[in-house]
Every structure is written in structure tokens, then in C-alpha cells.
Amino acid sequence: MPFWFLYGLSDCTYFLLYKVFGYRKKIVRQNLNNAFPNKTAEERTEIEKKFYRHLFDILLEGIKGFTLSIETLQKRQKHITPELPQAMIDKGKSPIIVGGHCGNWEWGGMSASTCVSSDVVILYSPIKNRYIDNYIKASRSLYDTYFWSSPKAPRAFKAYQDQLATFVLIADQSPSNPKRAHWIPFLNQDTPFLKGPASYAYNNNMPLLYIDFQRIKRGYYSMSVSVITERPQDYTPEELTAMYAQKLEAAILKNPEIWLWSHRRWKHRR
């Protein structure tokens, strides 16, 4: 479908699911209240409205992404620092790139292969429906990326131990087991973070990079990469996780409406 029709459909979805049915409105408001206690109710409501408009845009853009040409994807997903991941590859190092659910992370992951000469390995949370999961993996793989489910991540790192690869993870999900999480102050709350990315970087001595997805305007996004550390074994995994969390928090504070406020990020307590 053409983009003008897609965004018209998004506007209708916004009206129905947000205005009429209040999709996850209670979760979103609680998250915003806890994260921004110093903002006024009006300011939080403005973020909420902008978030829902962004949410329905990226849901439909994600589906649209399955049929986008790489040329269209590159036009709509601007790479600000494309040289940085390749610089790690040129040094003979396989980087781990971590990001959050900001901007359009789906398009960002799809276009990652245009930045590096190595294989791109995306670690993702599998969808329970096997047929949908296989379809999504096949569609995304059109962009020369390789998908490994998160439970199989150790196998992925072992499979690429003798060749260079770029690993990409979205790492701001709520851990399934909070007892094994790293707990860090984040957005004014004690927050559990997944141990995986920091542990992989530390155990394999791989550079840890952060990828920031931002929205330029409707249908256009940017992604920029910065270095967390090239020497992960100089830090503990807990310190590496905290360094990632700081970068993610700064990105959210810059444009709070483009983060995924509808997921239950704080459903666990220490």
C-alpha cells in the first residue's frame, strides 16, 4: 500500500484504539507518571498522545518494511555514523550493538547490513506462533541479515567465533527472571535489565556499541552508533549494563514519545 494510505490507516487506528478503546492506556499512564514525576499532567498527556500516534505508525511501517526495497529503506532510515561499526570490523573485532525500542528499530535492524562488510546477526525474541515467526524471519532476511532467537544466543556467538560478525540486540525488554537481572536506577525507578548483552561482550571481549534510533519526521528516521567501550573486560558486566542504560535514558529524555511506553517494563520489583 502507498505511504499516504498507510498513514491514513494509522490515523484511523489511533482514533479507534486510543480514543475509543484506550489500548493499554493504564499501563502507558502509569509508566509516564513514574518516569516523569516532575512533569505536569498536561505535559505527560501530550507525550502520551504523541506516543500513540508514533506507535501505530511504526506498527504499520513494520509490516510495510517486509516489502520495501533496500533503496527505499536507505532513503527513509538515515545512517548518521555508518563508519563506526565498520571501523570495529576493520580492526578485526566483532562488535555487539545494543539499542532500545526507540524510533523505528525494525527498519534500523533491517538496514544494518548496509553499514558493515560482515554478516549481521540479529538476536530477537521469537514469536510464539511458529508460522508467523518463520514468515517474519524470512522477510527480514531479504536484507542480508541472519536471525537467531535469544535463547539460542550462545550458539550464535559460538557459530561466529572464527569469523567476524556484527551482533545487534534490542535490550530494554523486561527480564523473564528478575532474580537474574541487573537492577539499575532508570527513569526514576529501580529497573531490571537483561544480563545478556553485557555478559556476551565481557565473556567474548567484544566491543560494545550503542545504537540510537530517532524520528526525523513521519516515515523518516535516523540511526547513529556510539561506543560504550572497546575494552569490555576493563569493567564488570553490571557496569557495562549501567553504561548502556545511561545512553538509553538520555535518548528517551531527548524524545520521550518515541519509546515503547506500552510494554510492562516495570512489572517486576526487586
What residue ranges do the domains of the chain occupy?
A: 3-63, 77-258
The sign of the dihedral angle between the CA atoms of 137, 138, 142, 147 is positive
pLDDT of the residue at 184 = 95
Percentage of the chain beyond pLDDT 70 is 93
Q: Please indicate, yes or no, whether the overall pTM of this predicted structure exceeds 0.95.
A: no
pLDDT of the residue at 112 = 85
27 grid coordinates: 499501563
Comparing 248 with 268, which gets the higher pLDDT?
248
Comparing 149 with 256, which gets the higher pLDDT?
256
| Distance separating alpha carbons of residues 119 and 194, to the nearest angstrom | 24
Ranges 54-58, 68-72, 117-121, 246-250: which has the least confidence: 68-72
Asked if pLDDT for residue 42 goes beyond 90, the answer is yes
pLDDT band at 109; cut points 50, 70, 90: confident
pLDDT of the residue at 125 = 78
